[in-house]
Structure 1
Amino acid sequence: MLSKKMSNWRELVKRLWRKRLTKAVLTTFSLFLLLDLLFPLNTRVPYSTLIISRDGQILHAFLSRDDKWRMYAELPEITPTLRNAILFKEDKYFYYHPGFNPVAMLRAAGRNLLTGRRTSGASTITMQTVRLLEPRKRTYLSKAIELFRAIQLEWHYSKDEILQLYLNLIPYGGNIEGLKSASLLYFGKPPQLLSLAELTTLTIIPNRPSSLRLGHSNARIVQERNRWLTRFRTAGLYNDATIADALTEPLTAYRREAPQQAPHLARRLRTDHPDTPIVRASVRADAQATAERIVQNYANRLRGLAIHNAAVLIVDNATREIVAYVGSADFRNAFDGGQVDGVRAVRSPGSALKPLLYGLAFDAGIITPKTKLADVPTNFSGYEPDNYDRRFNGPVTAEFALANSLNIPAVALLNELGTSSFVSALGKAGFVSVKKQAKDLGLSLVLGGCGVTLEEMTRLYVGLANGGQVKPIHLTASSATKEVPASGAEETVLSPEATYLVTQTLVQITRPDLPNNFDNSYHLPRIAWKTGTSYGRRDAWSIGYNRRYTVGVWVGNFSGVGVAELSGANTATPLLFQLFNALDYNSPSGWFRPPTNLSHRLICPETGDVPGDSCHHPVTDAFIMGVSRYRPCQHRKAIWTNAAGTISYCAHCRPADAVRRLYPNLAPNVLAFYQTQRIPFRTVPPHNPACERVYGDAGPLITSLNDRSEYYINPRQPAELELGCQAGSDVKTVFWYLNDKFYRRATPTEAVFFKPRPGPLKISCADDRGRHSDLHVLVKAE
């Protein structure tokens, strides 16, 4: 009976004890959670910003906000060799304790009490990390706080994360903190490439950063390193051969400069990603180093010509990632503005925008490669552009005009296409300054009368290399949104067909912007490229592309001072060729393939139009099916004259014995050019002075279409109809109307074309005297 009572009593005591113990644990845990909530541990540390290349090399390093070299080591950089060494030396039971080691604490307390002084510590890596985060005086209260903080750290982070944080904070003397900083600044390599001897060296420095200074007391450091290597061998941490090699390895550590490659890109990325310790740039370290070297050497050769600056941007066409970014020839050259980022500086593009204009004209159906354009003196409402060489070529093909960068045909195309359409296309392509200046831009826009950046220009040509699709180009290896231009996402600026026609024109080498230097043209890479020289010779551009890369080059002075020798052909293009030859000479990627909607047809070489009755030697030309205009050639016109060919007749006054003759159908500006240049051509004889129809009070006589007639067209590919008239000698301008809607103005002798639509059509022609005439026709679909 007594035994049973005793047993019940013990059971009751056990239950009460368990209950109180559970209550105590829950109370302690609740108190910990409350304190953790009230006094959170701040583990945010200002790290140095590292700019890493796409292939993992450190390009550029910046001091942290508190002026420390404190570089962030990622988990993969903590190798097993490094982990074993640091844990053996600092905390063997790191992966087993909750932030503090009670056995080590009791042992240290006993030794300290017996000796009356501090002979050993019991700080774990977790507690040391807390001390590095929150330095305090070494007191018992501080120890208690560190103990609480260590438990906090273990509560919120994994063991690997705590070890990573510890290795990022350990001191190495001066303003160097963290094993990665010491590895890079003393050994010139990342932690994962360190040898065992180098790793051991870096594990012993943090305990004595003042007395063991790398580069100053290397002999003492070697003795301490070898002592620890011997302990590693005794503990069997590494094999004997590895230890033997480490013991004999010399210590050559010294203080190095932090990496300073790609300075302009690095500063831009640090601004875009201010709180990111490691920014992974899209550039390739080898391509960046090569580009910087070539640009600097080339700029040094130009200094004798008073040309001091250059900028280069290289983009991978497939990924649209920047491969190399050179903002200036020498970042350290403060006298010549070396810290100016030439990639983002707003400059005048010269003629470098012409490929986009011609591409838009191809897409609008206005021209094909062999369409004839007039390179003659022309007045565009008071604006009279001139060519670069101050010469005129007369009628030239569109591909010749683009390849030779003729100004007057380009301005004439822009005038026909419309400045607003060109500005809209530039806006879609991401030209920020052009969008801002849109209201003030005129016909000089295509000759460089606007502001652009090298980045914008290169992005446009990347679009040409990608079938007219303009997308953002990326500064980082991932598709970050910081560098997305104002234009936003992908924009279709040109069709693949128009882009291909432009590319085939820009790949020609029989052109004036080929450098007149044998060394540069001897190893000419197969690329499509276009040059540009701004007004006053302040900016020289050369931008080229093949299947793999697009390279943009700008050469000039950041001060804006012009130089007589500066030109896109002879100053910027040689640098472009050097970069392509170094980067992608004899590219295996092949060349661009023609789109399926691009075909060929016979055309008259005199006009580029579909051959007519008077075209006897047609040639082949490319055209975009369903887009390029289908206009019969009118390079000659039939005129009725007398037998002697001295008087011409109209339909109203033509006698029965009139003779039909063919005469050149020249535009007024070409006619004037031939006359001033004394180029012989067959002229139309004066009109019959006795004709009353033209010189009476009636309006201009519409001669091209017959009143009350029917015309049949192919709806899928309608042929253009010609509008022509005869007017009095006092008439300078006529105005054409289609169904009472103004169509366009022209000179009386100018041939005007339009695409008809099925249905009734009223055609009206009015002269500048207020007289007009009408006719009605019916257009039917076949």
Structure 2
Amino acid sequence: MKNKKWRWGLGGLLGSLLLLFLLDRLFPLPPPPQYSPLVTAADGSVLHAYLNPTQKWRMKTELAEITPALQQAIITKEDRYFRYHFGVNPVAIVQAAGRNLFGTGRTTGASTITMQVARLLEPKERTFSSKLVEMARAVQLEMHYSKAEILQLYLNLVPYGGNIEGVKSAALLYFQQPPDYLSLAQTVTLAIIPNQPRILVLGKNNAKILAERNRWLRAFGRENLFPKQDIEDALAEPLEAQRHAAPTLAPHLARRLVTQYPGQPIIHSTLKRGPQTKAEDLTRNYVRRLHELGIGQAAVLVVNNHTRAVEAYVGSADFLDAAGQGQVDGVRAVRSPGSTLKPFLYGLAMDRGLITPKMKLPDVPANFNGFRPENFDKTCAGEVTVERALVYSLNIPAVRVLNDVGVSALTDKLRQANFRTVARQAPRLGLSTILGGCGATLEELTGLYAALANQGEYAPLKMTQEDGIGSSVLGVGASKTNPKNPIPNTQYPTPNTKNQKPNSKLSNPTSATGVSLLSPAAAFLIGDILSQRIRPDLPVGYENSIRLPKIAWKTGTSYGRRDAWSIGYNKDYTVGVWVGNFSGQGSPALTGTDIATPLLFDLFNTLAYNSPNRWDTPPASLDFRLVCAETGRVPGEHCPDQLIDYYLPGLSTARRCEHQQEALISADGNVSYCRACLPEAGFRRQLFPNPLPEVLAFRESQGLPAQRLPPHNPTCRLVHDTDAPGQALAITSPAANAEYVLSRGEKQELLLSCAAGSEVRQVFWYVNDRFLRAARATERVFFRPPGGAVKISCADDHGRNVDVQVLVEEL
């Protein structure tokens, strides 16, 4: 008999569970609430909030924000047995039924917190059948969620009048604090309003709310819910509440993240409120002073070098500036980078052993297959050291270095640093790339400079915290029944979801694996050069930045003065600044030195004012050596003046200096001899300058001292031998493979000029293999060419010859 009863009981229990399961499947829970997307700072405070798709402020309250005081106040006021019932309180229902039937006491509906959640999720008219549905839904909710999650849902859905729902929304919009930062008086205030949200309106009915708040505080005091002193302090606290605007810091990054992670109620960014606020204020105030110069926008990015986390993100000077296109994100806008890629190029050349800081490079007019770069000030210095070429941002030496390194070598490295536009443009890019002839963003450039600050190691910038968000049914955390497979909240659609994986962690979509772009030695050398304070690109009034921390920085100005850049770094931060107009309109005053660098200095003074000037020490892979003061190369036989220079052992070129050559000349100095024609007597040894032909030609064209070797002994059999010693011969005009359009009426002519070694006295010009005329090596020759394809040839008095092809069209 007992076994039979036991079987009946077990069967009834299983049948009830099966019925509940079937009902749960037939009547699934209502859809999750649609939360207001929030973007928070690294400390959890809200940076930016958006209305949810139904135009309500419903900001998700996280479990950690529900303080014990808030829990106690809500539970004591709304549902004392919340932690013990299964969603419905039978005792409360019987008591309420009795009061309602016999008219004794206050008429109530015996709603538990769980039943209120069910009603808030699925609003219905207040009828008896609706109440039954609420009860069923309450039991269903209890099956799926813990008590903490149900309380969280309740606090996220309770009304506060108008379009404000949820404790967090009310706390931020009325008290400008998150729920876990509220005082006891403020907490109780928010606990009492949901029962009468249309009557107790914060900011309008504060006196009535204050009286109701104090009544409940005294009731809580009688029940010893809170310490006596806390109650007294709360009663004495005035109610100062009014409606405030929702937080709107970092609008560009907020919009970017909300679009990138649709449906996430809270996105935890890496921004820091202090640096973000200061960067926005500095940028806005600085750009106001530039309007009279025709400059209306700026963008700023601040990166923590130790974590690669973005701590400040300013996409424009004013997001609401419609006339200035303030909603454009200047951090991601593709612009011409000007000269900002030069430090990276020189670092690559150092790693390839091509250059060292003290080595001299030609800075003379040059023609690279038709490309004729010019320095910013339209002048040339003849020869400059690598460090001077970089600090002064000279264009011609940079193009020479890129020509030696190779455009593909540079673009391949930039592709590794996630330069997306460069990666697309790579097949079409040429030597002008290093002068800004490519597309780049402030985000890409700042990430590249952060790699220089980290010993050449590149890693993607981080804008969100990796453990930022988990989503679930109803958006309250993982479900009790299926914590590993929560249903994603997808109510915030975006067109950017084609390749979005559900429930992906909020991290940078690019792989976080580091890439070595430069060696630590090359990165150190570039930083050492860029941190010099004696430089031409110091802005006017830089003396006021005497407490500026030691930084390495580089400026850039794009063609047409449309973009001004200044990017700098120290051990702790990398800061990128772009200034210009989103319309692309240039300004005569727009340069990286005068316009972008002052804002960069202001930012560093704010971020790291008077901080210790910590800097990297030279890595073990770097060493010193003596070099010739004239060329920066390893001293040769005739290098009396020497200085110390860094170099990379085993990599840096060990080619010896030949800036002077010893020649055997006649006693009167009119003839030079080679070993084959050296007389037995009547000669002497003398040192002569041995510059590159193009440098020698430049010096002579500028009227500078340029001593040439006397002509070779005319009776020597080697005078026309192509093996005769000396520098190579090169045609500097016309440009190889160039097209020239000449006017018949104006009788225009072409210029012929060459660069020859110091031993060359005379050259011979040919047009289409027909002799034109002889000329001095430094002489400029003009002639009228025939139309069509023209071959120009030049031969020197040592038997060397060179030719170029050009195309001439007559109009």
5 Å matches for 1:608-627? 608-627=632-651
1:346 aligned residue: 334
Q: CA separation of 1:482/1:144 partners in 2, compared to 1, >3 Å: closer, same or farther? A: closer
- Indicate conservation of the 8 Å contact 2:711/2:759, yes or no: no
Query: Aligned match of 1:308 in 296, 304, 313?
Result: 296
Q: CA separation of 1:496/1:640 partners in 2, compared to 1, >3 Å: closer, same or farther? A: same
Answer yes or no: is 1:336 the counterpart of 2:324: yes
2:723 aligned residue: 700
Separation (CA, whole Å) in 2 of partners of 1:15 and 1:703: 115
Query: Aligned match of 1:629 in 649, 653, 660?
Result: 653
1:671 aligned residue: 696
Q: Which AA in structure 2 matches 1:685?
A: P
- Indicate conservation of the 8 Å contact 2:713/2:719, yes or no: no
Q: Which AA in structure 1 matches 2:654?
A: Y
- Indicate conservation of the 8 Å contact 1:694/1:727, yes or no: no
Separation (CA, whole Å) in 2 of partners of 1:338 and 1:292: 13
- Indicate conservation of the 8 Å contact 1:472/1:485, yes or no: no
Answer yes or no: is 1:139 the counterpart of 2:127: yes
Answer yes or no: is 1:438 the counterpart of 2:426: yes
Q: Which AA in structure 2 matches 1:193?
A: Y
Query: Aligned match of 1:689 in 711, 714, 728?
Result: 714
* Gaps in structure 1 of 5+ consecutive residues: 1-11, 705-722, 733-746, 750-764, 771-782
Query: Aligned match of 1:470 in 450, 454, 458?
Result: 458
Deviates more, 1:238-247 or 1:410-419: 238-247
1:489 aligned residue: 513
Q: Which AA in structure 1 matches 2:165?
A: E
DSSP-derived class of the 2:447 partner: helix
Q: CA deviation at 1:673?
A: 0.9
2:753 aligned residue: none
Separation (CA, whole Å) in 1 of partners of 2:616 and 2:261: 37
- Indicate conservation of the 8 Å contact 2:711/2:761, yes or no: no
Deviates more, 1:192-201 or 1:116-125: 116-125
1:777 aligned residue: none
Query: Aligned match of 1:166 in 154, 170, 173?
Result: 154
Deviates more, 1:493-502 or 1:659-668: 659-668
Q: Which AA in structure 2 matches 1:94?
A: F
Separation (CA, whole Å) in 2 of partners of 1:328 and 1:200: 41
- Indicate conservation of the 8 Å contact 1:548/1:589, yes or no: no
DSSP-derived class of the 2:32 partner: coil
Q: CA deviation at 1:67?
A: 1.4
Deviates more, 1:453-462 or 1:417-426: 417-426
Separation (CA, whole Å) in 1 of partners of 2:291 and 2:725: 65
Q: CA deviation at 1:693?
A: 3.4
1:32 aligned residue: 20
Answer yes or no: is 1:238 the counterpart of 2:231: no
C-alpha distance after superposition, 1:266-293 (max 9, x if no partner): 1111112212211111111111111111
5 Å matches for 1:700-719? 700-701=723-724
C-alpha distance after superposition, 1:15-57 (max 9, x if no partner): 5544433322221111001111222213522111111111222
Aligned residues with identical type, % of pairs: 53
Answer yes or no: is 1:221 the counterpart of 2:209: yes
Q: Which AA in structure 2 matches 1:357?
A: L
Q: CA deviation at 1:313?
A: 0.4
2:29 aligned residue: 41
- Indicate conservation of the 8 Å contact 2:360/2:385, yes or no: yes
DSSP-derived class of the 1:437 partner: helix
Separation (CA, whole Å) in 2 of partners of 1:410 and 1:107: 88
C-alpha distance after superposition, 1:118-170 (max 9, x if no partner): 92211111111111111122233222222221111111111111101111111
C-alpha distance after superposition, 1:93-123 (max 9, x if no partner): 0111111111111111222222399922111
Separation (CA, whole Å) in 1 of partners of 2:182 and 2:412: 55
- Indicate conservation of the 8 Å contact 1:306/1:563, yes or no: yes
1:540 aligned residue: 564
Separation (CA, whole Å) in 1 of partners of 2:411 and 2:714: 49
Q: Which AA in structure 2 matches 1:566?
A: L
Separation (CA, whole Å) in 2 of partners of 1:35 and 1:369: 78
1:455 aligned residue: 443
Separation (CA, whole Å) in 2 of partners of 1:550 and 1:503: 12
DSSP-derived class of the 2:290 partner: helix
Separation (CA, whole Å) in 2 of partners of 1:602 and 1:231: 87
Deviates more, 1:225-234 or 1:279-288: 225-234
Deviates more, 1:350-359 or 1:583-592: 583-592
Q: CA separation of 1:347/1:140 partners in 2, compared to 1, >3 Å: closer, same or farther? A: same
Q: CA separation of 1:582/1:386 partners in 2, compared to 1, >3 Å: closer, same or farther? A: same
Answer yes or no: is 1:421 the counterpart of 2:409: yes
Answer yes or no: is 1:390 the counterpart of 2:378: yes
Separation (CA, whole Å) in 2 of partners of 1:673 and 1:261: 56
Q: CA separation of 1:482/1:170 partners in 2, compared to 1, >3 Å: closer, same or farther? A: closer
Superposition TM-score, scaled by structure 2 size: 0.84
DSSP-derived class of the 1:64 partner: coil
DSSP-derived class of the 1:692 partner: coil
Q: CA deviation at 1:597?
A: 1.2
Query: Aligned match of 2:92 in 90, 101, 104?
Result: 104
- Indicate conservation of the 8 Å contact 1:702/1:724, yes or no: no
DSSP-derived class of the 1:663 partner: strand
Q: Which AA in structure 2 matches 1:571?
A: I
How many residues align? The count is: 712
Separation (CA, whole Å) in 2 of partners of 1:70 and 1:396: 63
Q: CA deviation at 1:203?
A: 1.3
1:71 aligned residue: 59
- Indicate conservation of the 8 Å contact 2:349/2:405, yes or no: yes
CA RMSD after TM alignment: 2.7
Separation (CA, whole Å) in 2 of partners of 1:123 and 1:631: 90
Q: CA deviation at 1:679?
A: 0.8
DSSP-derived class of the 1:693 partner: coil
Q: CA separation of 1:518/1:551 partners in 2, compared to 1, >3 Å: closer, same or farther? A: closer
Q: CA separation of 1:136/1:605 partners in 2, compared to 1, >3 Å: closer, same or farther? A: same
- Indicate conservation of the 8 Å contact 1:428/1:487, yes or no: no
Answer yes or no: is 1:113 the counterpart of 2:101: yes
Which fold has the larger relative contact order, with Cα–Cα distance below 8 Å and residues 6 or more apart in sequence?
Answer: 2
2:539 aligned residue: 515
Separation (CA, whole Å) in 2 of partners of 1:231 and 1:526: 61
Q: Which AA in structure 1 matches 2:666?
A: N
2:679 aligned residue: 655
1:59 aligned residue: 47
Separation (CA, whole Å) in 1 of partners of 2:697 and 2:448: 38
Deviates more, 1:645-654 or 1:193-202: 645-654
Separation (CA, whole Å) in 1 of partners of 2:123 and 2:400: 74
Q: CA deviation at 1:340?
A: 1.0
Answer yes or no: is 1:373 the counterpart of 2:352: no
- Indicate conservation of the 8 Å contact 2:250/2:276, yes or no: yes
Answer yes or no: is 1:529 the counterpart of 2:565: no
Separation (CA, whole Å) in 2 of partners of 1:116 and 1:235: 25
Q: CA deviation at 1:84?
A: 0.7
Answer yes or no: is 1:82 the counterpart of 2:67: no
1:575 aligned residue: 599
Separation (CA, whole Å) in 2 of partners of 1:30 and 1:486: 47
Separation (CA, whole Å) in 1 of partners of 2:121 and 2:598: 55
- Indicate conservation of the 8 Å contact 1:48/1:70, yes or no: yes
Q: CA separation of 1:584/1:253 partners in 2, compared to 1, >3 Å: closer, same or farther? A: same
Separation (CA, whole Å) in 1 of partners of 2:413 and 2:801: 35
2:479 aligned residue: none
1:718 aligned residue: none
Separation (CA, whole Å) in 1 of partners of 2:183 and 2:4: 59
Q: CA deviation at 1:655?
A: 3.1
- Indicate conservation of the 8 Å contact 1:51/1:60, yes or no: yes
* Gaps in structure 2 of 5+ consecutive residues: 469-504, 728-756, 767-793, 805-811
Query: Aligned match of 2:573 in 549, 566, 586?
Result: 549
1:5 aligned residue: none
- Indicate conservation of the 8 Å contact 1:694/1:726, yes or no: no
DSSP-derived class of the 2:638 partner: coil
DSSP-derived class of the 1:621 partner: strand
Separation (CA, whole Å) in 2 of partners of 1:690 and 1:542: 61
- Indicate conservation of the 8 Å contact 1:187/1:254, yes or no: yes
